[in-house]
Amino acid sequence: MNEEKLIPHLFRTEYRKIVAVLCKTFGIEHIETAEDIASDTFLQASETWGIKGLPENPAAWLYTVAKNKTKNYLKRDKILTDKIIPQIKYQATGTEKTEIDLSEANIKDSQLQMMFAVCHPSIAAEAQIALALRVLCGFGIDEIASAFLTNKEAINKRLFRAKEKLRAENIAVALPSPDEISNRLDIVLRTLYLLYNEGYYTSQSEKVLRKELCYEAMRLTFLLTENEQTNLPQVNALMALMSFHASRFDARTDENGNLVLYDEQDELLWNLQLIQQGAYFLQQASRGNQLTKYHLEAGIAYWHTRKEDTKAKWEHILQLYNQLLTLEYSPIIALNRTYALSKANSIDEAIIEAEKLQLIQSHFYHTLLGELYKHRNKEKAAFHFSAALQLAKTPEDRQLIQRKIETLHL
């Protein structure tokens, strides 16, 4: 990999590690200092590597430079030094040299602890995701703005407010106490779930699937499974859910980027390794007696990795949707349930249940009714597909709905 490609790649993978360790060292109130040191490290890499070529171990080079920049910063800033120096280990060399621990173990611990700091209940959910993308995933401001379909100024303001809130609340970069960890973990999982969904499908993005967001959510969730205190059933259930969905990524769009519906997907493109991974984490999630929405959604996603279109399969899915609605009602979940109802019971019953929802401002609602009515009344199907076409926000959705209209042959 040449320098032009390597530096952006390393920024994505190493920036977040340096920031996490320095935040743990300095405290969350000095997050901008941590980000500045990490950014300066990559700026120096860009300048130096362009002249001298790539070092033998680029990541180790970055860590060394980040450590040196941190030491220089601490020497210059007496206030920060007086607070931080007593907390930092010294190298046994006879001279007082600060040691910044960028070992693999401390990087993992720091990132896990930063996850709980970033996902603090005092911060709005949207700000949590933006902050997670920046400090936990290493996304640039332009990338975050693109993910939220807004401009850099808006993202910078959002991040600034979130950091100010962390400072005001004096949030520690540490795992919560055992008594508190369950409640705090719920917020962390919600943030990771929303981050994954933002990548899996957003009604506003120009791209129907943003795999990089999904994979970052999976990476952070996997970190939780590696720690004894956070390796809990609900975490494994979320990891299973993400794995099952990710297994069908390659089949979900065609070579032109167009959306491919489930019934039309090529099963040979499904990733069997991710399906097996999902099955493993779903098994791990079965420990204990707690049933969460992640368990039920993972179960639904599992059955969608079984391609056979049998009544028994859809009855399983329908029952899981019934449990999910009892646990946490959502109009969209209710709408998705009606498709399973059409497969398990009858199309007529599904139409009745879908129309009760009256989600007339949702293109999903009209698309589903169009799909159901095409077997019963093509004029009504055309009406709903036309309504869906007007409401759809992405080019991919509009193309898909237009193809459905054309297949009606009115």
Residue 254's region, left for phi above 0, alpha for psi from -120 to 50, else beta, is beta
If you search the block for the tokens 């779903």, which residue do you land on?
Answer: 282
The per-residue pLDDT for range 135-175, each reduced to its tens digit, is: 888 888 888 887 777 889 999 999 999 999 988 988 889 99
If one counts every other C-beta atom within 10 angstroms of the C-beta of residue 376, the result is 11
Torsion of CA 241, 11, 207, 146, to 10 degrees: 120
The per-residue pLDDT for range 83-120, each reduced to its tens digit, is: 555 554 433 343 445 578 899 999 999 999 999 999 88
**Domain assignments of the chain as residue spans, ordered by start:** 3-102, 312-353, 359-410
If one counts every other C-beta atom within 10 angstroms of the C-beta of residue 266, the result is 12
Written as six digits, the tokens of 393 are 């926000």
Predicted pLDDT of residue 80? 58
pTM value is 0.86
DSSP state of 176: P
Average pLDDT, the chain: 88
Q: How far is CA 233 from CA 240, 280, 321, in A?
A: 10, 12, 20
Q: How far is CA 193 from CA 21, 238, 242, 254, 330, in A?
A: 25, 8, 9, 25, 16
Q: Assess contact for 354 and 372: CB atoms under 8 A.
A: yes
Write the CB contacts of 50 (distance below 8 Å, at least 6 apart in sequence): 3
